[in-house]
Each structure stands twice: as C-alpha cells, then as structure tokens.
Amino acid sequence: MFSAEAAPFAKVGGLGDVAGALPRALEPIGAQVSIVMPAYRMISREKFGIRSCAAVPSFEVPVGSGSVRAEIAQTTAAGTGVTVYFLGGSDYFERDGFYDDPVTRQGYADNSRRFAFLARAGLELLRRLGRPVDVIHCHDSQTAMVPGLLRTVYRNDPFFSHTGCLFTIHNLAYQGVYERDALASAGIDPGYFHASSPFEFWGKVNFMKIGIETADLINTVSEGYAREILSGPEYGCGLEGVLRNRSGSLYGIMNGIDYEVWNPETDPFLPAHYSPRDLSGKSLCKTDLLCRMGLPRQRGRVPLIGIISRLADQKGFDLIAKASRAIMAHDLQMVVLGTGQKEYHELFLKLSSLYPEKIAARLGFDNALAHQIEAGADIFLMPSRYEPCGLNQLYSLRYGTVPVVRATGGLADTIEDYKLESDSGTGFVFRDYTAEYMMDALERALVLYADSGRWRGLMVRGMGQRWAWEGSAHKYMELYEKIVALRRAGAGRG
C-alpha cells in the first residue's frame, strides 16, 4: 500500500485511518501487506521502533533534471506482521505540515515534486527489496502517480510485469492539479502530455485523473459515493466524464471501524464505561465532558450535541452558520472539536461568547477529546454537503450517540432515518442541502429525545450495528484477486 498517511504514525483524516486499519484486517485472511509512506519529521522513531532499513541502503531517485537521495527506514505495525517503510529525501517531509504549510494554510508549492518522489522512490524501493508484488494499492491523489509510472517509465521492466494496481478515491475534490512540469518531476516523458492523455487535464497535470485512468481497478470508500461521482459535476468535480469511461472498473467499498479502539465498554479515554445492557456510564461521560468543556450541567433532560470535524464548507458548516440562531433558540447544549476555515473559527468563538452556557468549542484536534465527545454527547450533527464515507457517524452509533446526517455518500449508506410510526431507524436524515431541512431533522431528534423510552431504544439499536473492517477487507481481497486475474490474462491497464 502506498499512502501519504497511515495511523498511528501520521494521520490527518479518514485516509490515515483506512491505511492504518485495512492492512490489519487483510493479514488474517491471507494477504501479505506492506505500507510505503513518507518519513514525516513529526513521526517519533523511538515511540514506534523505527530503524534504518538494513536491506536497502540509501539510493538516488531521479527528480526532474536532477536526483534526490532516498533514505529508507522501517518498522512493524504493532501486533501484526505488516512492515511499514518510511521514505525520506531532501527536505520533502522534514516540515511542520503534511500537505499544507501551517502558517499560510496553503498547500506546499512543491507538493507535485514531493509526491512524485514518494511514488518513484517507493517503486525503486520495491525493486531493491527484490520481492515482486501482485498488487500495489494506492490511496488518493498523493500516490496516483504510481500507476502512471507503471504504465510509462516501468512499462517494460520485468520486475513489474505482473504487478497490478488498485486506486482508491477517498475524496475526489482533492485532485492534485499542477503545472505540466510535474511530469518531469516523476521522470515521465513529456510526450505523454497531450489532449485525451491520462497525463493532460485542461493544460495541466491532474494526479487524480492519472490514477483513475491508469490503475487496473478503482474504488471509492462507499457504494453511495461511487454512484454520486458518476452523476455530474456537483460530485464528480470535473472528472465525472473520466469516471464514466471507467465505470465498469469502479467499485464502492464501505470503510470499517476498529471496534477494539472504538468501544465504550473498554475505551481508556473515558471516565466511565457502558454497554447496551447498562447505559449508566454514558451519563457520567456526559457530566465529565461538560466539565472539560466548561459548560454547566443543566437542570432536567437537556440534550448535548457533539460535532467533531474539519471546519469546512464540505462538512455543512455553512448550514450550521445560517441556522445558528435557530439552533441556539432550543433548550440544548453543543460541543465542537475541529479546525479549518477561518470564518468557522470565528463563528464558534462568537457563539461561545454569546451563549457561554450553551456552546463550547475546542479549535484544534485532540484524539482523547474526540472519544470523550462521542461518549458524552447525546446527538452527533454531521450535515455534510458530500461525504465519501464518513467515520464519525459509525463511531457515534457504537457509542449510543444518535447521528443527525445528510443523505449523501457513506452517510446515506449507513444511517437509516427514524420512523416514528414503526419506531425504527438508527438516526435522523435529511436530503436537500438547506439549513431548513437540516433544522427539521435536528428538531425531530430533539422531540424524540424528550421521550426517554423511545430514545433509549434508538441508542441501543444503533449500538448493535456492525461496520467492522473484516467485511470490507474481504471485498478488497476480491478486487485484488480480480486484478491478479486481469494481469495474468494480459488484460490489465497498459
């Protein structure tokens, strides 16, 4: 697996969770998995037992008109046989941010070179290890140059003659669009840059397009998102035509969650544990969370809404901004954890000032607090404009925290709208992307919260849901086997 992040070593979002958890789930069902990722400065060598790779000394990697010396380190993921290789070179990953400069909040100007280096150095590492692989599984645009290199620079290399490639799209909106010299960074002949080529996109180079067009098979992280990205420009982000051309090779596989890590019965971050059989500990978690966030415990039965998110338009915060007065007019409290766009930082700081007894925000990321919010909140609000998979709604189900979500992507695949007549469902769902429809779903949740018996039944039903990695891992194995069969039949890409 090639990935720009993998938990617990380096994580920005859901991509890191998947790249960290999927190998663990694949190993017991017969896959031999290794991970190739950047050697970011913030990764602790001591904590993770990372050491220099004795089998592969440093080597030169062509980058543009020159070369960069690649340094390889490695470790074994705890509790597995999964080897993790860390690639370092120049100062590409010796920085304070993964993709963006923390000061400017903009992507690094040389990201095309950084991730072209990751792809080229990773492939050279595999050659030097001398162990051919059946499938290279690439995650998102940062590693999309790998299948492009396999179809060009390494096209006639016997070492890769039977190696296929799966390309997973985690978020189509982040495509990695660069000037045409990005091809030279990877060492790909500029002759490949022409109209209708995988390597040309409106006069520029689009890493995501390269991955889509050159990988043997493609998948997204939910069945719903796989359908949405074919539907038009709103979800296809300008690549809907490219994706339609490969629709026969496109699959949707829902992400899973690690039920050992996300388990309210054993979670070490919680002040009290609880289960579907005994929910008393959840009340203690709520009290503790209110105290941590500086909110008073209100008299009576007052619902606490939780939000853990990147604070961005994609996540529905424009709807929350429009509805903020209407939300605060209700008898409720809210806790927010996240960081992102400046306007939403300012929004939550202002609301916290205006309603200090009702809302508190922590503008940053804190893994322990994320667990505590999932456990202590009664309702989890997730009104995304689009959501390829979503994991927090799955964590919320596990922790008896009822999700209020928009019907898009993985949210639509995993949350069933509550029906009062049949007392069925696992959360509250709205379809149209408007503040009014979001408020309707939230207000339905608030009304049901007043009925403690039905609310308890809804919580327990959600806690009984299972979205474990085991099922998803079997589906990935099926795709790997398809790729192996394609390559053996000579029907793969390139």
Domain assignment present for residue 428? The answer is yes
Tens digits of per-residue pLDDT, 139-162? 999 999 999 999 999 999 999 999
Find the CATH number of the domain harbouring 130: 3.40.50.2000
Domain assignment present for residue 224? The answer is yes
Domain assignment present for residue 21? The answer is yes
Domain assignment present for residue 272? The answer is no
Q: What is the DSSP letter of 110?
A: T
CB neighbours (10 Å) of residue 340?
17
Residues 73 and 39 sit within 8 Å (Cβ to Cβ): yes
Q: Given this model, what pLDDT does residue 321 score? A: 97
Per-residue pLDDT averaged across 72-80, rounded?
95
Q: Which tokens in the block code for residue 42? A: 């913030």
Tens digits of per-residue pLDDT, 77-127? 999 999 999 999 989 999 999 999 888 878 999 999 999 999 999 999 999
**Same domain, yes or no, for 180 and 33?**
yes
**Same domain, yes or no, for 230 and 290?**
no
- Distant-in-sequence, close-in-space partners of 101: CB < 8 Å, separation ≥ 6: 95, 107, 108
The answer to whether the Cα torsion of 144, 145, 149, 152 is positive or negative is: positive
How far apart, in whole angstroms, are the C-alpha atoms of residue 446 and residue 384? Answer: 20
Check residue 78 and give left, alpha or beta (phi > 0: left; psi -120 to 50: alpha).
Answer: beta
Residue type (1 letter), 43: I
**Same domain, yes or no, for 65 and 119?**
yes
**Same domain, yes or no, for 474 and 451?**
no
Domain assignment present for residue 263? The answer is no
First-to-final CA distance of the chain: 20
**Same domain, yes or no, for 70 and 174?**
yes
Tens digits of per-residue pLDDT, 341-397? 899 999 999 999 999 999 999 998 888 999 999 999 999 999 999 999 999 999 999
CA distances from 387 to 173, 227, 339, 420, 429 (A): 11, 12, 17, 26, 14
Angle at 464 between CA 310 and CA 414, to 5 degrees: 45
CB neighbours (10 Å) of residue 326?
14
Question: Which among 197, 196, 255, 194 has a CA at the least distance from the CA of 224?
Answer: 255
**Same domain, yes or no, for 313 and 343?**
yes
Q: Given this model, what pLDDT does residue 494 score? A: 66
**Same domain, yes or no, for 41 and 167?**
yes
Q: For residue 485, name the pLDDT band (cuts at 50, 70, 90).
A: very high
Question: Which among 213, 211, 209, 203 has a CA at the least distance from the CA of 237?
Answer: 209
Q: Given this model, what pLDDT does residue 105 score? A: 78
Tens digits of per-residue pLDDT, 319-345? 999 999 999 999 999 999 998 889 999
Question: Which among 180, 144, 173, 145 has a CA at the least distance from the CA of 240?
Answer: 173
**Same domain, yes or no, for 340 and 434?**
yes
Percent of the chain residues past pLDDT 70, beyond the cut: 100
Q: Given this model, what pLDDT does residue 367 score? A: 87
**Same domain, yes or no, for 305 and 249?**
no
Domain assignment present for residue 4? The answer is no
Domain assignment present for residue 2? The answer is no
Per the structure, the complete domain to which residue 118 belongs is given by: 14-256+470-488
φ and ψ of 110, to 5 deg: -105, 25
Residue type (1 letter), 411: L
Domain assignment present for residue 315? The answer is yes
Residue with tokens 């793969």: 492
Q: Which tokens in the block code for residue 23? A: 């190998």
Residue with tokens 């903009």: 106
Residues 139 and 168 sit within 8 Å (Cβ to Cβ): yes
Q: Which helix (H) or strand (E) holds 74?
A: strand 66-76
Q: For residue 423, name the pLDDT band (cuts at 50, 70, 90).
A: very high
Q: Which helix (H) or strand (E) holds 212?
A: helix 207-214
Q: Quote the mean pLDDT of the chain.
A: 95
Number of domains the chain is built from: 2
**Same domain, yes or no, for 304 and 386?**
yes
Q: What is the DSSP letter of 296?
A: P
Residues 408 and 386 sit within 8 Å (Cβ to Cβ): yes
**Same domain, yes or no, for 246 and 324?**
no
CA within 13 Å, CB half, 294 = 9
Residue with tokens 């692989």: 133
Q: Given this model, what pLDDT does residue 176 score? A: 95
Q: Which tokens in the block code for residue 263? A: 């388990």
**Same domain, yes or no, for 319 and 230?**
no
